[in-house]
């Protein structure tokens, strides 16, 4: 739960990212929720909760595909380390070795 100051900061951040990416608040929120689903899949994989790599690959690629379809005009980078945000978006290519230059969706 956010306090008033944290909520204001988050809303300002979301508004800046929405403007940069030319998306609505509702689109941002959908992407944020899917990014969190994906982070949970990555976390479960790190914790060995999937019966096989096939199960993990199916779940992660399914959510990644939904995100890519939804954000069809944006470039996506999926950070598989579950200790932080999993989804980064930008209007231009995102270099794998410098993905933090893109916009973090959290």
Query: Where along the chain do its domains lie?
Result: 4-105
Whole-number pLDDT of residue 90: 98
User: Are residues 38 and 87 in contact, defined by beta-carbon separation less than 8 angstroms?
Assistant: yes
Determine the average pLDDT of the residues in 9-30: 97
Residue among 59, 106, 102 nearest 77 (CA): 102
pLDDT tens figures, 70-87? 999 999 999 999 999 999
Predicted pLDDT of residue 1: 75
Predicted TM-score (pTM) of the model is 0.93
Which residues, 6+ apart, have CB-to-CB distance to 97 below 8 Å? none
Question: Percentage of residues in the chain with pLDDT exceeding 70?
Answer: 100
Instruction: Locate 101 and state its tokens.
Output: 């230059």
Query: How sure is the predictor about 3, in pLDDT bands with cuts at 50, 70 and 90?
Result: very high
Across the range 18-41, mean pLDDT stands at: 98
Residue pair 35/106 in contact (Cβ under 8 Å)? The answer is yes
Given pLDDT bands bounded at 50, 70 and 90, which one contains residue 52? very high
Task: State whether residue 78 is helix, strand or coil.
Answer: strand
Say if residue 72 is exposed, middle or buried (CB neighbours under 10 Å; 0-12, 13-18, 19+). Answer: exposed
More confident residue, 2 or 104: 104
> Structure tokens of 94?
């995102």
Residue 88 and residue 94 in contact, taking contact as beta carbons nearer than 8 Å: yes
């Amino acid at each position: 739960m956010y306090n008033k100051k944290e909520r204001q900061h988050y809303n300002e951040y979301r508004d800046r990212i929405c403007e940069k990416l030319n998306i609505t608040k509702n689109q941002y929120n959908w992407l944020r929720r899917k990014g969190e689903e994906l982070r949970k899949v990555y976390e479960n994989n790190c914790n060995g909760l999937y019966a096989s790599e096939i199960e993990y690959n199916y779940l992660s690629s399914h959510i990644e595909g939904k995100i890519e379809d939804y954000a069809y005009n944006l470039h996506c980078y999926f950070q598989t380390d579950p200790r932080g945000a999993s989804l980064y978006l930008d209007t231009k290519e995102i270099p794998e070795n410098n993905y933090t230059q893109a916009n973090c969706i959290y």
